[in-house]
Amino acid sequence: MNIQADYNFAYLDEQTKRMIRRAILKAIAIPGYQVPFSSREMPMPYGWGTGGVQVTASIIGPDDVLKVIDQGADDTTNAVSIRAFFAKVARVKTTTHTSEATIIQTRHRIPEEQLRDGQILVYQVPIPEPLRFLEPRETETRKMHALEEYGLMHVKLYEDIATHGHIATTYAYPVKVEGRYVMDPSPTPKFDNPKMHMSEALQLFGAGREKRIYAIPPYTNVVSLDFDDHPFEVQKFDKPCAICAAEGVYLDEVILDDQGSRMFVCSDTDNCESRQAAGHRGELSGMEAAQ
């Protein structure tokens, strides 16, 4: 039995990459619009980043430097797995430093460090349709986008305010792109929404299972939906990072013992490590070394 085990550069065949690049170009031309593409099966399961992986595979070249994060961290298992995948099938250089990367594939976070011109941020998207949980039918939601009929979304946010006194959506918080399409920023915490606005970097969104690609070109208006009397706000943390003392960054809560004591540390591991290297110390920064 002769089993062929050769794979093309970056796994996908060139025809498929071309098809995906055409979808990406269309997505860039119509910011925030979900472009259908004929998504391929990938060697990792749907829901584990197949959309992002296909986008990355289609745009990556031998000279690119790839960074992969999951939950803001370079060392979470799925980030490790996807980075290893591209190191193997594309033999590209990988990095954990945001500034060194030309392509950053991410799940659920935008790096704290400001992205610059020429970098590409590739998001893994589970449900690309921001209206999906208000209207389950694709035929309906496409019509709503076409007619710019976003009343339902505003009613949902208004109902939040009527019930809770504030908008209760904390992640996958809907945005309006360049004054036209309402878009799902993928399940990033709303803390990251302002980073999408006028970003120097190109932002590409890939949803493999749902077969959609969308994009935010550099320097595009991205506005989080809100009301005049209930303006959009991001999460605030009471304390700085316990390890690097960073403020104004997104923090993860880490349970320290079974008594319920906890610490808050940077979600962005690269940012935290760079700050520690620069000499920043938080109130619990000695703990790790002491253990």
Partner 1 sequence: MYVAVKGGETAINNAHKLLADRRRGDRDIDALSLAQIKEQLALAVDRVMAEGSLYDRDLAALSIKQSRGDMIEAIFLLRAYRTTLPRFGYSQPINTGEMKIERRISATYKDLPGGQMLGPTFDYTHRLLDPDLAQDEATDEPVTRKPDVGRTQRVSEILANEGLIEDDGKNGHGAEEPGDITRTPTEFPMSRDERLQSLSRGDEGFLLSLAYSTQRGYARSHPFVGEIRIGEVDVEIEVPELGVSVLIGRVQVTECQMVNQFQGSAKVPPQFTRGYGLVFGQLERKAMAMSLCDRALRARELGEDIVAPAQDEEFVIAHSDNVQATGFVEHLKLPHYVDFQAELGIVRQMRREYAETNDAVSSMIKEAAE
Active-site residues, by number, are 32, 241, 244, 266, 272
Contacts of residue 100, defined as CB under 8 A and 6 or more positions apart, other chains included, come to 65, 67
- In the three-class reduction of DSSP (H, G, I as helix; E, B as strand; rest coil), residue 252 is classed as strand
Angle, helix 77-89 to helix 50-59, in steps of 10 degrees: 30
Binding residue for partner 1, selected from 109, 176, 195, 275, defined by CB under 8 A: 109
> At closest approach, how far in Å is the CB of 217 from partner 1?
22
Single out the segment in contact with partner 1 by CB under 8 A; choices: 79-87, 94-102, 143-151, 221-229: 79-87
Binding residue for partner 1, selected from 10, 17, 28, 37, defined by CB under 8 A: 37
Binding residue for partner 1, selected from 30, 76, 135, 221, defined by CB under 8 A: 76
Binding residue for partner 1, selected from 20, 27, 48, 215, defined by CB under 8 A: 48
- In the three-class reduction of DSSP (H, G, I as helix; E, B as strand; rest coil), residue 171 is classed as strand
Neighbours of 219 (CB within 10 A): 11
- In the three-class reduction of DSSP (H, G, I as helix; E, B as strand; rest coil), residue 283 is classed as coil
> Which string of x and - marks every residue 249-268 that binds partner 1 (by CB under 8 A)?
-xxxxx-xx-----x---x-
Ranges within 199-228 binding partner 1 (CB under 8 A)? 209, 211-212
Binding residue for partner 1, selected from 63, 147, 162, 164, defined by CB under 8 A: 164
Bridge partners (DSSP) of residue 252 are: 265
Single out the segment in contact with partner 1 by CB under 8 A; choices: 74-82, 95-103, 149-157, 216-224: 74-82
Taking CB under 8 A as the rule, does residue 193 contact partner 1? Answer: no
Taking CB under 8 A as the rule, does residue 273 contact partner 1? Answer: no
Taking CB under 8 A as the rule, does residue 189 contact partner 1? Answer: yes
Bridge partners (DSSP) of residue 255 are: 262
Contact 197, 222 (CB under 8 A): yes
Residue among 47 and 248 whose Cβ is closer to partner 1 = 47
Taking CB under 8 A as the rule, does residue 105 contact partner 1? Answer: no
Closest of 52, 46, 56 to residue 209, by C-alpha: 46
Closest of 137, 152, 122, 163 to residue 225, by C-alpha: 152
Q: What is the DSSP string of 47-101?
A: TSSHHHHHHHHHH--TT-EEEEEETTBSSSHHHHHHHHHHHHHT--EE-S-GGG-
Taking CB under 8 A as the rule, does residue 246 contact partner 1? Answer: no
Alpha carbons 181 and 33: distance in angstroms, whole number: 6
Neighbours of 88 (CB within 10 A): 11
Binding residue for partner 1, selected from 61, 133, 170, 227, defined by CB under 8 A: 170
Classify residue 208 as exposed, middle or buried by CB count within 10 Å of its CB (0-12, 13-18, 19+): buried
Taking CB under 8 A as the rule, does residue 13 contact partner 1? Answer: yes
Contact 161, 227 (CB under 8 A): yes
Single out the segment in contact with partner 1 by CB under 8 A; choices: 78-86, 113-121, 151-159, 223-231: 78-86
Binding site for partner 1 (CB under 8 A): 1, 3, 7-8, 11-13, 15, 36-43, 45-48, 50, 70-73, 75-81, 84, 107-109, 126, 136-139, 164-165, 168, 170-172, 187-191, 209, 211-212, 235, 250-254, 256-257, 263, 267, 284, 287-288, 291
